[in-house]
């Protein structure tokens, strides 16, 4: 019986070749897109589950009751003090992420100069770090309990030592803590792609306990209960109530930390960090729950459109096959047999579509991975709940559409079908019209969404930032910060300044688009209001040329003087504020703030107030910023002519290598650095545009099939009208009018839905564009144009046919 059903199903697919191709193409494309996005969702959802006990690991954060986002930079001595008080803590580990970034020098022999590598992912960690997270070792024991010990990743070991053993070798790390030798105790497997904790080199926190290895940076003492700069992870005893533990931890913290009054401790599960980081941190690119849910919704929407496309075309075919159903019933076929026959056809068509979709995914996978910069594959779909979800969508779509169409076909009265009067109605409205409306509603929503995404991106990229990014090259400064390095930095600036193609040069310890140096609290006016000490400020160390080089305007006052730089901000005690900082400190205006003293442990004088500028992207509001004077050497920003750029950079490189021997020369363009902040929106816009295009394409294929069937149904009517004098335009209007009305109804339904969704999405941006009326007009017009062109192809074909042929049998 099954083989008979399969033979009949195959024969019918060949007989209705055009409809079969449209159905298979639509389903294959829809399922293929669903599989690709399901891979992405599985990848994003599976982050930070590499540890066997990840369900019991939490990251602690402090909330002061006013800030929306938690502070995950905690004092280094906090974790040990908390564990001593709370027995529910089984273990803890800390990481000073990227704290040791600088230059790694590998010496093959003691006397050689060594090979230098600039490393960013260099972190200080506790001795149990690798064991705590279950990172697998390839070589050595990886224990970092002793000072001047290090562990490196497998790829880093290969880069440094090739195929030779790395354990026991010595590497020299040059960074803000000076130049220190470390012995490698272990080589661990490369950090999993689905990890938010990334490090190429791990250094022992024990090293920083010795003042000799801190280079005067006493704030980095890893046993202190101040100067928060570490992430604290706690492994809690299984079965512990998270909320109750956090409440108890809050009480204990207020006893441990002298300034913790009003502070609240919150715990974030390790598995939740990626999609709900709840804070901004430029060293890592966390995921976004909003985008993951949005992409999943798109995948389901496109799949539904594809299935509805199949249902629509199949129900249309049902009218032409109604007589077949009636004859089968007359000859004794039961309704269940007819349902099984048509369900078999759906299963066959689905299996063919699924195979083609897998081939499609395999073909586009490399391009998709390159675009998203993620190592996706079909293997990700074998995650338990993802696999279940994919199977559910495919099987449910197959069964629902198959049973639905089969039920309709089997329900026709034999007498009516043989007489040719069968029709498909749902409450007086044609089912196929409802399905067309749904398809184009979804398509119009995606079109409007795409336009809004690109409009917001364009808005962010073209807004006046309050500073200039053009023709500026950023050069990473030397890794070691000491008196000798400062002298060399001054010499570098002076020599580069003499080059004819250089306009201006400035030094700072961070640059726009990348971040600040640190954040600080406890800064107030000399007569502060209640609660002022809890307000946070973003701090940036700059030289006297910073504001002029970036074309940042002063409201009042002036830039720092060279003399202020020599002594540095701890001794000079001079600061420059932005307008937001002046306002948050309680000054009525910039003029009132100028010359005033502020308290930050000691008194600092305000020597200038600049206009607010966007140091970071328009995702967030302009932060209150305080600028500190010093001979900064973290980054050099050079404004130079665009002509012969590479040749000019090579000249600067020669000076750099002469003054900073052994330091790798790296540079970037400031506008590109800043633009990277919008990479997520750029990718999301491309994905939405592709999704909208695919949705419209699938819907248009269905519309094409419906128009063909409508033209076939009205072939005699068209013939009679032409004989009676109707021209081609009248015939086109006859066939197209109903379909255009359906698309217009779709636009009316889609517009408020798209408006609500995009207004919600725009709320995440501190500075955003609005939902203008023309966006809906443009989206609707595009949908109408595509629908009109699609239907017109069939309409013109029908209008051009010879009426004699259609009326020959009358």
Give tens-digit pLDDT for 381-438.
Answer: 877 677 777 788 778 877 877 777 777 666 666 555 555 555 544 444 567 778 888 8
Condensed to tens digits (0 to 9), the pLDDT of residues 495-517 reads 999 999 999 999 998 899 988 88
* Shared domain check, 587 and 619: yes
What mean pLDDT value characterizes the chain? Answer: 83
Q: What is the mean pLDDT of residues 181-195?
A: 91
- What confidence score (pLDDT) does residue 372 get? 87
* Shared domain check, 37 and 13: yes
Reported as type and span, the H/E element at residue 598 is strand 597-600
* Shared domain check, 514 and 615: yes
Q: What is the mean pLDDT of residues 528-535?
A: 69
**Which residues form the domain of 642?**
478-662
Span of 472-481, 627-636, 717-726 with lowest mean pLDDT = 717-726
Q: Of 629, 662, 695, which one is at a domain's C-terminal end?
A: 662
> Residue 9 and residue 732: Cα distance in Å, rounded?
35
The CA–CA distances, whole Å, from 782 to 446, 525, 689 equal 12, 58, 13
> Residue 540 and residue 535: Cα distance in Å, rounded?
17
Span of 4-8, 79-83, 619-623, 767-771 with lowest mean pLDDT = 4-8
Structurally, how many domains does the chain consist of?
Answer: 3
Token pair in block for residue 156: 């880093």
Is position 491 within any domain? yes
Is position 186 within any domain? yes
Token pair in block for residue 133: 């997270």
> Residue 697 and residue 699: Cα distance in Å, rounded?
5
> Residue 181 and residue 772: Cα distance in Å, rounded?
61
* Shared domain check, 61 and 34: no
* Shared domain check, 327 and 243: no
Binned at pLDDT 50, 70 and 90, residue 750 comes out as very high
Residues 6+ apart with CB under 8 A from 530: none
More confident residue, 480 or 646: 646
- Is residue 474 within 8 A of residue 782, CB to CB? The reply is no
* Shared domain check, 299 and 249: no
pTM to 2 decimal places: 0.82
* Shared domain check, 228 and 204: yes
* Shared domain check, 224 and 91: yes
* Shared domain check, 163 and 253: yes
Smallest CA-to-CA distance from 691 within 30, 24, 26 is with 30
The CA–CA distances, whole Å, from 279 to 61, 101, 275, 459 equal 10, 22, 11, 24
Condensed to tens digits (0 to 9), the pLDDT of residues 247-287 reads 999 988 888 887 767 778 889 899 888 887 555 444 455 67
Is position 5 within any domain? yes
- What confidence score (pLDDT) does residue 426 get? 42
* Shared domain check, 170 and 64: yes
Q: Give the SS3 label for residue 506.
A: strand
Is position 743 within any domain? no
* Shared domain check, 114 and 43: no
CA-based diameter of the chain, in Å?
Answer: 105
Reported as type and span, the H/E element at residue 383 is none
Share of the chain above pLDDT 70, in %: 87
* Shared domain check, 62 and 43: no
- What confidence score (pLDDT) does residue 481 get? 59
């Amino acid at each position: 019986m099954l083989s008979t059903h399969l033979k009949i199903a195959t024969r019918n697919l060949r007989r209705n070749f055009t409809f079969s191709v449209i159905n298979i193409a639509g389903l294959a494309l829809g399922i293929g897109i669903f599989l690709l996005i399901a891979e992405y969702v599985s990848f994003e959802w599976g982050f930070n589950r590499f540890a066997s006990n990840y369900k019991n690991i939490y990251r602690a954060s402090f909330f002061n009751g006013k800030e929306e986002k938690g502070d995950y930079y905690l004092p280094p001595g906090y974790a040990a003090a908390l564990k001593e008080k709370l027995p529910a803590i089984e273990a803890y580990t800390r990481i000073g992420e990227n704290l040791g970034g600088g230059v790694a020098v590998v010496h093959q022999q003691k006397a050689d100069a060594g090979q230098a590598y600039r490393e960013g992912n260099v972190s200080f960690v506790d001795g149990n770090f690798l064991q705590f997270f279950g990172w697998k070792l390839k070589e050595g024991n990886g224990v970092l309990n002793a000072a001047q010990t290090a562990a490196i990743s497998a790829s880093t070991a290969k880069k440094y030592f090739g195929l030779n053993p790395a354990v026991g070798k010595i590497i020299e790390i040059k960074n803000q803590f000076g130049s220190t030798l470390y012995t490698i105790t272990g080589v661990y497997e490369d950090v999993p792609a689905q990890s938010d904790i990334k490090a190429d080199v791990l250094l022992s926190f024990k090293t920083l306990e010795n003042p000799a290895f801190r280079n005067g940076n006493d704030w980095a003492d890893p046993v202190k209960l101040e100067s928060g700069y570490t992430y604290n992870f706690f492994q809690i005893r299984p079965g512990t109530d998270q909320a109750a533990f956090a409440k108890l931890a809050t009480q204990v913290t207020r006893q441990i930390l002298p300034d913790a009054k009003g502070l609240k401790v919150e715990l974030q599960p390790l598995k939740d960090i990626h999609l709900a980081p709840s804070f901004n941190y430029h060293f890592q690119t966390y995921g976004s729950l909003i985008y993951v849910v949005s992409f999943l919704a798109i995948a389901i929407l496109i799949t539904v459109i594809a299935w509805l496309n199949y249902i629509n075309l199949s129900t249309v075919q049902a009218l032409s096959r109604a007589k077949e159903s009636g004859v089968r019933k007359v000859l004794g076929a039961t309704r269940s047999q007819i349902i099984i026959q048509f369900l078999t056809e759906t299963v066959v068509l689905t299996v063919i579509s699924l195979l083609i979709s897998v081939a499609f995914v395999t073909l586009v996978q490399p391009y998709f991975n390159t675009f998203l910069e993620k190592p996706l594959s079909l293997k990700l779909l074998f995650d338990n709940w993802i696999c279940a979800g994919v199977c559910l969508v495919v099987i449910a779509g197959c069964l629902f559409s198959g049973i639905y169409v089969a039920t309709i076909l089997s329900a026709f009265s034999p007498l009516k079908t043989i007489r040719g009067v069968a029709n498909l109605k749902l409450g007086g409205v044609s089912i196929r019209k409802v399905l067309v409306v749904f398809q184009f509603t979804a398509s119009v929503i995606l079109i409007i969404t795409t336009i809004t995404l690109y409009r917001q991106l364009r808005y962010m990229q073209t807004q006046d930032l309050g500073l200039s990014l053009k023709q500026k090259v950023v050069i990473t400064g030397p890794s070691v910060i000491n008196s000798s390095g400062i002298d060399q930095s001054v010499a570098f600036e002076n020599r580069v300044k003499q080059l004819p193609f250089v306009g201006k040069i400035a030094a700072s310890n961070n640059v726009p688009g990348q971040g600040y140096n640190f954040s600080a609290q406890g800064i107030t006016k000399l007569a502060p209001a209640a609660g002022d000490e809890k307000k946070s400020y973003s701090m940036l160390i700059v030289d006297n040329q910073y504001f002029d080089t970036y074309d940042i305007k002063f409201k009042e006052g002036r830039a720092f003087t060279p003399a202020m730089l020599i002594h540095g901000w701890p001794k000079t005690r001079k600061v420059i504020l932005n307008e937001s900082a002046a306002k948050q400190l309680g000054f009525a205006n910039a003029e009132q703030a100028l010359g005033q003293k502020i308290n930050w442990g000691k008194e600092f004088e305000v020597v200038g107030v600049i206009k607010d500028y966007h140091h970071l992207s328009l995702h967030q509001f302009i932060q209150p910023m305080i600028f500190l004077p010093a001979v900064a050497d973290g980054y050099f920003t050079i404004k130079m002519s665009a002509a012969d750029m590479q040749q000019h950079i090579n000249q600067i490189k020669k000076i750099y290598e002469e003054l900073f021997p052994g330091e790798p020369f790296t540079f970037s363009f400031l506008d590109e650095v800043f633009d990277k902040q919008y990479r997520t929106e750029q990718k999301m816009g491309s994905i939405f545009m592709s999704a909208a295009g695919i949705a419209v394409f699938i819907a248009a294929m269905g519309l094409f099939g419906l128009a063909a069937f409508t033209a076939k149904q009205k072939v005699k009517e068209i013939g009679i009208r032409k004989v009676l004098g109707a021209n081609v335009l009248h015939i086109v209007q006859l066939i197209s009018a109903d379909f255009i009305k359906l698309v217009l109804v779709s636009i009316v339904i889609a517009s408020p839905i798209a408006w609500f969704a995009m207004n919600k999405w725009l709320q995440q941006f501190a500075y955003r564009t609005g939902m203008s009326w023309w966006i809906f007009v443009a989206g609707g017009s595009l949908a109408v144009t595509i629908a009109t062109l699609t239907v017109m192809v069939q309409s013109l074909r029908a209008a051009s046919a010879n009426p004699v042929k259609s009326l020959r049998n009358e």
